[in-house]
Structure formats: C-alpha cells, structure tokens
Amino acid sequence: MIRKTIKVSNITCAQCAKSIESYFEPMDQIDAKVLVTSKKVIFNYDESTYDTDAIANHLRTIGYYPILNNEALLKAKKRDIIDLILAGIFAFPLLWTMFVHLGIHMYVPSILMNGYVQWAIATPVLFYVGRRFFQASYHQIKGKNLGMDTLVVMGTSAAYLFSIYQTISHTLSGASGMPDLYFETTAVIILMVMIGNYFENRVKERTSDALQALISLGAKEARIRKNGQEVMVPVDEVKKGDIIIALANEKIPLDGIIKSGKSYVDEAMITGEPMPALKEEGSQVIGSSFNMMETLEIEVTATGSDTVLAHIIQTVEDTALIKPKAQRIADKVASLFVPVVVMISIVVFFLWVFIIHGGNALSVAFAPGIAVLVISCPCALGLATPTSISVGSGIAFKEGILYKGGEFFEVANKITAIAFDKTGTLTTGEPEISDIIGDENTLVYAASLEKHSNHPIAKAFVDACDEPLKEVTSFEVMIGKGLKGKIDGKWVYVGSLKLMQELKIEVKDLSYQTFLSQGKSVFFTAMDQKIIHMIAIEDPIKDTAQDVIAELKRRSITPYMITGDQDITAQYIAKKLGIEHIFSEVLPHEKAEKIHEIQKQGHIVAFVGDGINDAPALKMADVGFAVGSGSDIAIDTSDVTLMTNDLGLVIKAIDLSMATLKNIYINFFWAFAYNIVMIPLAASGLLNPSLAGIGMGFSSIMVVLNALSLNLFKFKPIQKGEQA
C-alpha cells in the first residue's frame, strides 16, 4: 500500500468529505481520508490495482475536480469563473422579470415574459452551471448524507418543474395573462450559492498549504565526504551512518550526532525556543535547524520519514484527520429539512389525489405537491449562515482577528480549556535585560562586545545600552562560554559562570542562583580579572497575558501551558500567570499528544501558539489560534489568526463567535418561520403564488438585515486585577 495526497478544488465542507469517503469505502485495496481545510484527499492504495489517473477519474465521476498539476489548477479556476459568468448572464434577465411577478410596475421586454423563453434561459443554468450540485447530491443521497447541495437541487428542480408545468398548462388552456413562474428562482439560487463558493475558494487559496510549507523547510542536498572529497548529493541518497558536513551559516540537512566540531545551532523553527543551543561532540542535532558558528561533522541517525521534521509533517497530517470537522449548520439543518419537506410534498400529493379529489384529479394534485417544494426553496436558508459569518468576519478583521472558516463559530462557544505555548505566545519571544547587578555604567563594555556577535541575546545588550559603543579589537567567540575582546587596551570578557571559573575569577554575589531559579539566563562581565557587573536576561511576559488568564478562569475555562522549554522556566512563568496545569520539555510532535490527553478528559480544547513546532497541536485542538507574528506554518494550520500580539484577541474572538452563532440561529428562525407559515398554505391549495414570492423575498431580506445587526455588537473590556 502506498500513500498519495491529491488536492481537490471544490471540497468545501464536511458533507464533501463524507461523500468522497463513502464513495471509496466499498472499493477494495483503497481508502480515502479527506482534509477539509486544506482541500486534500489522502489515499492509501495498492499501486498494482490503482494509479493516480484512475483515482482522479473516480473523483471526477462524483463531481470533484482533482488538481494534479498547475495546469489543472488553472483549469479549475477558469471553470469556476466561466460557470459564475454564465450563471450571472442568464440569471440577470430572469431577475428582471421577478419584479413583475412581485407586482412592481417597471419596463420589461415582452419576450422575457414568455414562459418558453424563460424556460430556455433557465435550462443551461440548472443543468450546465448547476451540474456540480446534481453530481454531489446523487452521492449524498447514495451515502445517506443529505446536505445543502441536495437542498439546492430539490428547490431549484421543483421551481423549474413547476414553472414548466405552469407554462404548458397555460398554453393548453388558452388562458390569457401571465402564469406564475419560478424560473428566476432556479437561476438565482444557483448563482448565489456559486458566488459564495467562489469567494470561499479564493479565501482558502490565499492561505498557503501548511504541509507543503513544512516540506519545503527540509534541505534538498547534503555535503558528504566520499573518497576524501566533499561532494553535494541529494538528501534522498544519504543513508544512516553517513558523515555529513554542515558549514557555518548553513542548514543542517538531516538528524544526527556531532562527531566533530562545536557550534551554536538555532532550532527555533523546530522547537520554538529563541535561544540557540550549544552543540558539541556527542550532541544530537535536528535536520533543518541552522548552524550558526563553526563547521560540524555529523553522523546521520535518521533519514526520510524517520526525521524529526518528517514526524512533525506526519503528525500535522494525521491530526487533521483525527480532528472532527464541524459540519456546517446549514448542512445539519438540510439533513433534517430535506427529507421532511419531501415527505410533506408526497403526503400532500396523495391526499389531494385520493381524499380531496377521489383519485380523479392528478393535475390538480400535482400543483400543491410541487408548490410545497417550491415554497421550501432554500433562499433564506442558504443565506442564513454566510451572511452572518461575512459580517462577523468583517468585524473581527477590524479588531485584528482573521477567521479561517465557518466551523470555528460552531465550536468556540463550547471551549472549556485553552492551552498556550510559552515562547512567543505568553511571552514576547524577544529576550531582554531584566536586572543589572553592579556598575550599570559599565554596560557599554558588554554591549560593545555583544555588538559583534550574532547570538540573539546580543541584541538585548545593545538595545539596553544608551551610550555610544566602544571600539573592540581582538574579538573572539568562545563557543559555549562567551565572548572576549580588547576595549581601551584592556581584555573584557562577557560570559557564563563557567567562563568566570576558567578565568579563576571569584563570583561573590550568589544572587545569580535566584535568577537561575526564575528561568533567567545570567551573564557576567569581567575586566582586569574582576567582575564589573552581572546581568540577568529573560523572555518577558506579554502585558495582556495575566489579565487573559484571569478572565478565562472567571469564565470557568481551564488554562494550560504546553512548552518545549525547561521545567524551571515553565514553572516560574506559569506561577506568575496563575496557570496550574503545565507540560514542559515537550517535543513538537508530543504537543498534539498533550492536547489529545486534555480532550480525553472531556474538554473542548483550544490551543494558542506561534511556532512551526506548534503546528501539530494547532491541528489537533478543537480550535487553533495562531499568533500573527509567528511562523506562516502555524498560521496556516490554525482556525483563527490573531494579527497582533494582544492575547486579549482570544477572548474577543470567542465572544464574537458566540454573537455570530446566535445571529445565525435567529436567521434560521426567520427562514423557518416563512416555511412554517407558507408550507401549510401551499399544501392546502390556498397559497397565492405571488404572495409566496413576496414572502420568500421578505424572508431573505430579514435574514440579511438581521446579519447586518451584528455591526451593533460591542466587545466587553477584559477585567484588570487579581487572578480569579
């Protein structure tokens, strides 16, 4: 069995996933799992039985368009645009005639009022432009997963058939005047749904594929030693046990153990931690991390799918499959509404045939039976969710919140636990000086040395110094210890306690132990064999973090911290913020496991993170919040992006989602109130078709006006003060 991922252009919701999975389920030697958010299908299949082209043909058979290359992607976009333009061209003249049906006096060319002309105009919209809805509905019905596509087909087809019946009956009877036609309803419903799908697809396209971005992080080539010479070879040709060479300022190609050399390695892209790690002989290194200082010779310990990066990629992919995607509210409603309406229509037809007219008036019975389906056209129902979400998303964007999909609105109000990454999420991710013990006027000596270093901590020294920096000569990096150089003719050293001990300089002030217990890094500056000051560096907590944690507790939402940082730092930060539940020293792929553990306790879990290492957890969580200043991959795998560093946006996003969900439910009330009143009238044969058209329009208008009322929503300020 081999694994193959195929992008599909028109996957839009959980119903699409069910349709595709149920189609492939009875087939031997193949299974399909759908990633709704990234619009992909993961296939595991026997390559002796299937190939990519055969699988693609199966997808096309059920109305889904596989994207196998850039040419296919361009074709899919072109097809969507052509269908949308055709729907608009044909729907416009029919919309024009609708005003006459509603009793509004305005000029309409007489030819457009002819039933046969309207029939000819509506036919290509229903059967050509709307073909995707028929294909999807067939497989939804076959898989017993009725959704919005089925409701669209039922409503448009009923309006179309009833209008044909009215047109022919009017001609045969020789009656004068204009029959009640609904051809415009058929065209407009398809046009509106397609406009919604088009914009949804474009929005999803603008977010890059997180998995592809992860894959692109990996090195393509590795430098290995062969026959005494260094040669570049593709990473795929490197085997376990090979010796690879990573030069300074170069990406380390694969996981391994250092056999020779000492350097600082930036692992922030994998671990999320801003401080480069000292790596020396015997240390393990991670493929795709960045070698900052000196040449390293590394024995490869993992290749292909066994590397840390490959595990992260697989975890992101697998957790996307595990995570249950919320079915759209409209699809949930449709799954109940469609069979009920169809049943009512059938019952009404037989009541008219066998009871009201004693079996002698099929033509009379046909009218109220079809009228029930016509009256149930999903105009308002189709507008209920997208209008509210569009308005809610617009409000959110102004606040710095970017929603990635409608599913968030259904889940956010149920959140009972929120887990936070530490570095870059609860903290700023930018180390700064917190304490200077000693002569602060001598900071200029340390800053002048650090100016020549590319270590992230160096920036903290330079930023904290207000004086002009001094000239440095004989500068040297003492890897794993610190820096040295001559300033004003004197040797100056900046480094760790280990460096001071090697220089035989006594450290009399033991307060450094207190700083270490707080998870801070401590550095000493020495000149003339004497320590002139001690500096503590920390990653400061964000200003809004404490208030947000307190607010979550007030709402009975349990805060967690999940971090790859050392336990002593995690405990200190958590205590300051009032977080009791802490997971520290967690590897990237283990973060998703921790989220799953919390979920198994019965919690609906949100996760807030910013790094590549957070991607699996963001996928596993019921709701993923990505801090906008973080990595593109974290943003792409999340459900919500916070476009500033203000953690208060998490609270605002939840509050707005709850208001939006309430608005959606009110929209459904208006949509159903219309049906509750009109369906009995249609069933009884008392309904005036013109009144029904006005009612349908009124229902849709009420839905739009109610959605616009969301603009009146006001965010509540987050309380300041002590922990709850």
- Residues 161 and 345: their CA atoms lie apart, in Å, by 14
Query: Residue 266 belongs to what H/E stretch?
Result: strand 263-266
Q: Measuring CA to CA, which residue among 674, 160, 141, 654 is closest to residue 384?
A: 674
Cβ(620)–Cβ(193) below 8 Å: no
The candidate with the shortest Cα–Cα distance to 561, out of 378, 421, 436, 446, is 421
Q: How far apart, in whole angstroms, are the C-alpha atoms of residue 446 and residue 180?
A: 87
With the C-alpha atoms ordered 233, 234, 235, 241, is the resulting torsion angle positive or negative? Answer: negative
Separation CA 41–CA 20 (nearest Å): 9
- Give the H or E element holding residue 41: strand 40-45
Tokens describing residue 450: 């650090």
Is 543 labeled as catalytic in the residue annotation?
no
- Give, in degrees to the nearest 5, the angle at Cα 417 between 414 and 421: 130
Distance (Å, rounded) from C-alpha 652 to C-alpha 647? 9
Short-list 461, 499, 445, 497, CA closest to 477: 499
- Cβ neighbors of 63 (< 8 A, separation 6 or more) are 10, 131, 132, 134, 135, 136, 138, 139
When computed from its CA atoms, the radius of gyration of the chain, rounded to whole angstroms, is: 33
Residue 252, classed as helix, strand or coil, is coil
Which two structure tokens, joined as six digits, stand for 5? 């991922």
Cα–Cα distance, 163 to 376 (Å, whole number):
15
- At which residue do the structure tokens 């203000």 appear? 646
CB 455 within 8 A of CB 265: no
H helix intervals, 257-360: 268-271, 308-322, 329-351
SS3 3: strand
Q: Name the pairing type of β-strands 417-420 and 605-609.
A: parallel
Residues β-bridged to residue 40: 7, 35
Count Cβ atoms below 10 Å from residue 649 Cβ, excluding itself: 27
Question: What are the tokens at 91?
Answer: 């729907």
List the one residue out of 409, 450, 433 whose CA is nearest residue 639. Answer: 409
Contacts with 403 (C-beta within 8 Å, 6 or more apart), sequence order: 389, 392, 393, 396, 409, 639, 640, 653, 657
Strands 521-527 and 490-495: antiparallel
* CA dist., res. 313 & res. 299, Å (int): 23
Q: Which residues pair with 130 in a beta bridge?
A: none
Strand, helix or coil at 498?
helix
Long-range contacts of 229-237 (CB under 8 A, 24+ apart): 235/303, 236/304
What distance in Å separates the CA atoms of residue 555 and residue 663, rounded to the nearest whole number? 22
Task: Characterise 109 by phi-psi region: left (phi > 0), alpha (psi -120 to 50), beta (else).
Answer: beta
Structure tokens at 116: 């046969």
Q: Which of 83, 149, 242, 421 is catalytic?
A: 421
Residue type, 59: L
Instruction: Count CA atoms closer than 13 A to 708's CA, side-chain side.
Output: 6
Q: Which residues participate in catalysis according to the annotation? A: 421
